[in-house]
Amino acid sequence: MTIPELSGVHPAWLPPEAFRAIGSRRTLVLGDDVLADTVRAEVAHACARYGGTLHDDRDGAYDLVLALDSEAGVGPEGFVLSRHDGATTVVAGGPAGLLYGLFEVVRRGETAFGADLPAEAHRPALRRRMLDHWDNIDVHPVMGQVERGYAGGSIFWREGGPRDLTRVRAYGRLLAACGINAVAVNNVNVHATEARLLTDRLGEVAAIADELRPYGIRVHLSVNFASPVALGGLATADPLDDGVRAWWARTTERVYATIPDFGGYVVKADSEGQPGPFAYGRDHADGANMLADALAPFGGVVHWRAFVYDHRQDWRDRSTDRARAAYDHFAPLDGRFRDNAIVQVKNGPIDFQVREPVSPVIAAMPDTRLAVELQVTQEYTGQQKHVCYLAPMWREVLGFRPWGPDGRTVADVATELVAVSNVGDDPYWTGHPLAQANLYAFGRLAWAPGLDPADLLDEWIGLTFPVAGDPGRLRRILHEIMDGSWRTYERYTAPLGVGFMVRPGHHYGPDVDGYEYTPWGTYHFADRDGVGVDRTRATGTGFTGQYPKPWSDVYESPAKCPDELLLFFHHVPYGHVLHDGTTVIQHIYDTHFAGAEQAAAMRDRWEKAAGDVPPELHARVRELLDEQVRSAREWRDQINTYFFRKSGAADAHGRRIY
């Protein structure tokens, strides 16, 4: 096992310097599994650079000891970190714990070796911490190679075939270092070429699995529900048909013969044109269970997405509400899914907007395993051209209590956390160098949902920028730019939770009415009197009734509804007064002026970081900030002008509106 070192690719949060504290010490590693071998290789690699030594003999004096104890009481991925006889000790519950323990020591650096290190038990809150790649093998004519990818091409495929996978090993290393343990390699919209990854191109998946295995990451595959027809030559894909079930069983057996630790399938069915069980008069439990049964003998799971809605609705029809769809389809099926069928629910009821309420499905399926799906790729949050640190949003989602202050949180209810990946073959991995922080923070929050986003940012900064200059200054600048960047983005884009207002198709930049008269179900209903979607039980679509109390009441009432979600739940006049005393129209003007100003301030702050980061990185971020400032102004002026023209209401501060 060699540690991948890539030239021309930014090391992200694992630069060699991150291993300085370990690399200069005497380390003992005990264990004889592939992951223990990885830990040994990591330590040896660090020692080669910094002069330390790696040992496998218990008799000796060490600075760091990493050992296994299945009785440690922390589960197979957990570990206890403590000081013992003058050594920093990681006692892991299983081989994966050894690896995660090593990276915890890396994260702490010198402080891991202080005599006052308190004993701490660590184990992941969520058992699967997964990334969904929306990568295509071929370059799709509309969506490109990575659907909603903003960081170049796929790291797995190029020009229709597999690429050199050295980078995939390095990717696995980065993911393990932030706690991620599963990756689905291909787009949930499974086109003809990618569908064959299940059968005659399975070797390509196996090769990826080989690269990721040393870092404890299992590979999953998005499959097309109609595969028995398209690949198997059957006349039907009916999930209750014996021939179909036998086809999936045989196919799955072959998958496991090739990749014994294969994770399972991901399915987008009856969604945005993808085939599904509805074509056969079956429901989504029938569909998911068929695949779950095929996977069960091998310990695999199916992630079945709840993103099911009518994308061909008539905009004139005010009774159909896309927000309701996932609950309407899935909540009645609670209790019918197999134990290895996981219903994967987007964090909000619509589609990864900068502000949405938490999906009510999460509270509606107590007898179903649930994965919550986040979008790390910034489809609707600036497309990795804008700085938008999303951890504060995710922290709110994970900490939300659907049953009120004394109830459980979303993180308590979910068994897994999944995110759409933001990585491509870009030298910085994520297009925008600062978007690396989102990937890092996602993994860490999936491990420990209670972590503070500002602390996570601090961790990421410390690891990623081992600065020679004044580390305090860089830290300060990055916090100033990034801590509040999600709220800044929210300020200059669609207001008060109403969502969208983006250019249809690519979803970048403002287009207030872009989706207003389309079949996609994403409307704002602005007219001369007011704006917003009435989702109340009293007069609207009834969506508020999908929440348990207290939220069903809170959201129902325009007076109680949190301001930031007002237009998601209510259609209100422009003069409606918010909790802070401003009217809706004045809030729109104020936030858009403020947001654009804040974007400009971010750019000014970044200038002060020149000298603290490599010059190419500084230049890249500066260029992107120029675009962010331009785009934020455009948003400001289009949104303000649109609402000024609709409402005729003057800005109380007399600022320029066009």
Question: Should residue 189 be labelled a site residue for ligand GCV when binding is judged by CB under 6 A?
Answer: yes
Sequence-distant (≥ 6) Cβ neighbours of residue 65 within 8 angstroms: 27, 28, 30, 84, 87, 88, 89, 90
Q: How far is the CB of 40 from ligand GCV (least distance, A)?
A: 39
Question: Should residue 147 be labelled a site residue for ligand GCV when binding is judged by CB under 6 A?
Answer: yes
CA 318 to chain centre: 32
Q: Residue 20 or 133: which CB sits closer to ligand GCV? A: 133
Q: How far is the CB of 188 from ligand GCV (least distance, A)?
A: 5
Among 424, 445, 443, which residue's Cα sits nearest to residue 377? 424
Q: How far is the CB of 266 from ligand GCV (least distance, A)?
A: 10
Among 389, 388, 385, 356, which residue's Cα sits nearest to residue 373? 356
Continuous segment of H or E residues that includes residue 227: helix 227-230
Active-site annotation holds for 147: no
Strand 301-305, strand 264-267: pairing: parallel
Question: Should residue 351 be labelled a site residue for ligand GCV when binding is judged by CB under 6 A?
Answer: yes
Sequence-distant (≥ 6) Cβ neighbours of residue 64 within 8 angstroms: 22, 25, 26, 27, 28, 87, 88, 89, 90, 105, 112, 113
Q: Residue 356 or 590: which CB sits closer to ligand GCV? A: 356
Q: Residue 507 or 524: which CB sits closer to ligand GCV? A: 507
Among 204, 200, 261, which residue's Cα sits nearest to residue 232? 200
One of 128, 268, 385, 535 touching ligand GCV (CB under 6 A) = 268
Q: How far is the CB of 272 from ligand GCV (least distance, A)?
A: 6
CA dihedral 114, 118, 119, 124 (to 10 degrees): -100
CA distances from 429 to 278, 435, 446 (A): 39, 9, 20
What residues from 378 to 397 belong to the interface with ligand GCV (CB under 6 A)? 379
Among 309, 221, 306, which residue's Cα sits nearest to residue 268? 306
Q: Out of 77, 379, 426, 612, which one is annotated catalytic?
A: 379
For 160, phi and psi rounded to 5 degrees?
A: 80, 0
Q: Residue 408 or 506: which CB sits closer to ligand GCV? A: 506
Q: How far is the CB of 455 from ligand GCV (least distance, A)?
A: 30
Q: Out of 5, 272, 339, 455, which one is annotated catalytic?
A: 272
Question: Should residue 188 be labelled a site residue for ligand GCV when binding is judged by CB under 6 A?
Answer: yes
One of 171, 215, 262, 307 touching ligand GCV (CB under 6 A) = 307
Active-site annotation holds for 634: no
Q: Residue 438 or 522: which CB sits closer to ligand GCV? A: 522
Distance CA 406, CA 276 (A): 39
Active-site annotation holds for 104: no
Question: Should residue 647 be labelled a site residue for ligand GCV when binding is judged by CB under 6 A?
Answer: no
Number of residues binding to ligand GCV, judged by CB under 6 A: 10
Q: Residue 241 or 511: which CB sits closer to ligand GCV? A: 511
Q: How far is the CB of 148 from ligand GCV (least distance, A)?
A: 5
Look up residue 245 and give its DSSP letter: H
What residues from 484 to 543 belong to the interface with ligand GCV (CB under 6 A)? none
Sign of CA dihedral 360, 363, 368, 372: positive
3-state secondary structure of 129: strand
Question: Should residue 322 be labelled a site residue for ligand GCV when binding is judged by CB under 6 A?
Answer: no
What residues from 78 to 137 belong to the interface with ligand GCV (CB under 6 A)? 134
Distance CA 125, CA 545 (A): 30
Sequence-distant (≥ 6) Cβ neighbours of residue 86 within 8 angstroms: 61, 63
Among 410, 631, 402, which residue's Cα sits nearest to residue 510? 631
Look up residue 57 and give its DSSP letter: -
Q: Out of 351, 373, 416, 490, which one is annotated catalytic?
A: 351
Question: Should residue 255 be labelled a site residue for ligand GCV when binding is judged by CB under 6 A?
Answer: no
Q: Residue 248 or 515: which CB sits closer to ligand GCV? A: 515
Active site residues: 272, 351, 379
Residues forming contacts to ligand GCV in the complex (CB under 6 A) are 134, 147-148, 188-189, 268, 272, 307, 351, 379
